[in-house]
Amino acid sequence: MFRRLVVATILLALMGGVAPARPAQAADIADASSGAVGPTTPPQGAVPCTETVDPGIPPVAATTGVTGAHAALYARSGFPTLCPGGSTTVTIAFLNTGSLGWYGNAALGTWGPEPGQDRPSALGGDGSGGSPATSWSRANRPGIQSMPYIGPGQVMWFQFAVQAPATPGVYQLGLRPLLEGQQWLEDPNLTFTVAVKQDDQHVPALPGAIVPPAPRTYLPAMLVDGSRVIRVPSLMYHYVSWLPTTDANMALRKDLTVSPTDFEAMLIYLKDNGYHTITTKDLWWSLDQTAALPAKPVMLTFDDGYADAYSVVLPLLKAYGMTGTFFVTVNLVDRPGYISRDQVRALADAGMDVESHAMDHVSMMKPLNDQIYQMCRARDFLSLWTGTDVRHFAYPSGDYNALSGTALERCGYLSGYKKSGGAVQTSNAMYLLQRARVHGQSGVSAMLIALGQ
């Protein structure tokens, strides 16, 4: 009873005393999903400073019932960009994926490398130890659980305030849940990023959000027959999500599913190791027109148009300043579990490369006219929906036959991608460009294997 009262009081304090006290919930993610959250009135003649929040990650399922104490990221609000001294409330949910219950003593702690477990953060803490007071219970305890007991398979919502320091820059919190007096839950290793800008004309980039274009110095080799060859790994993803509890073919689903945590770790690896994401358009220009690419180019491709393409992949790619290619199957759009037509448009509007994966997710080992229907109609629909000229294609399930190149050419496609591993791309096989699958459930090593193919 005492704890419940304390929690209600803290939540009320976190919400500025305006909203009714209640546990955080999914709507908080939607509320903070985009747009301006608090324009501040500038002094006369000063440049205004408007606080914004990037889109959040909506609830995603994860495998539960793992023996021991475990947790997985379930949802979070978006990364905010604040003005000096500004503050906002962050909402994060973790799913109890373990076999043990959390008895009113789970906390959300900061964790290394930045600002580090048990160290104060510039984003606020208990007011002592060098951090401003933001109602966090202690410097390393930014949130406490809002319910007295969270059983296996149940979701714990945390809310906490962050307060922007006076110095503009990009600040990070490492977050993971902790069973007080017991153990850190080892599964999540989540970094929450807060950007602080001086004003609307001086905005620091969220990690990689605004990246100056890389110099283009990497040219294809010209062979004696006039063809061009360049090595560009093109990585193939399907689901970027937590595994569902059941699936008709769980072995396949596991192989096709990379967790959001692993995916973010892969993006960090690519960024830290000097890779630059390019698109189907870039590769075509390089092979057909001898255009130079940035050093260490890599293509990130996402097949079929699953819902997580918009809810998980897009925010993460944006956060790291990267571009992905989304091969969308027209007749899967707007179905349960897939992106909507509006989201197809939103991906394109966000600067992503939306390309074709046929009308239906069927084999292209078909007579010419059947392939032409699948390819030409899909190009028409996707061009209409995205407002772009869709001219690149990936064969569903990687299946094609001797007529596929002719069909693609007649439909006006410039390139086509199969699925067998390999990274040496050649203008002699523009309709048989190569991709390598990133297998699920294997962490960053799965991507390193695909990169090396």
Instruction: Give the footprint of Zn ion on this chain (CB under 5 A).
Output: 303-304, 396
- In terms of CB distance, is 102 or 306 closer to Zn ion? 306
CB of 242 to Zn ion, least distance (A): 20
- In terms of CB distance, is 304 or 355 closer to Zn ion? 304
* Nearest-5° Cα angle at 135, 132 to 139: 60
- In terms of CB distance, is 304 or 353 closer to Zn ion? 304
From 191, 327, 329, select the one nearest 264 (Cα to Cα). 191
- In terms of CB distance, is 25 or 401 closer to Zn ion? 401
CB of 60 to Zn ion, least distance (A): 20
- In terms of CB distance, is 391 or 419 closer to Zn ion? 419
Query: Which residue in this structure is represented by tokens 């003649």?
Result: 45
Q: Are 301 and 325 in contact (CB under 8 A)?
A: yes
Q: Which residue(s) pair with 106 in the sheet? A: 179
CA pair distance 192, 173, nearest whole angstrom? 5
- In terms of CB distance, is 80 or 416 closer to Zn ion? 416
From 202, 108, 120, select the one nearest 160 (Cα to Cα). 108
In the complex, residue closest to Zn ion by CB:
303
Q: Are 397 and 419 in contact (CB under 8 A)?
A: yes
CB of 434 to Zn ion, least distance (A): 16
Rounded to the nearest angstrom, the gap between the alpha carbon of residue 344 and the centroid of all alpha carbons in its chain is 16
- In terms of CB distance, is 310 or 320 closer to Zn ion? 310
- In terms of CB distance, is 54 or 304 closer to Zn ion? 304
- In terms of CB distance, is 190 or 358 closer to Zn ion? 358
Read off the tokens for 373.
Answer: 């229907």
CB of 432 to Zn ion, least distance (A): 17
Q: Which residue(s) pair with 235 in the sheet? A: 300, 436
Q: Are 383 and 412 in contact (CB under 8 A)?
A: no
CB of 357 to Zn ion, least distance (A): 6
Instruction: For the chain, give the longest Cα–Cα distance.
Output: 81
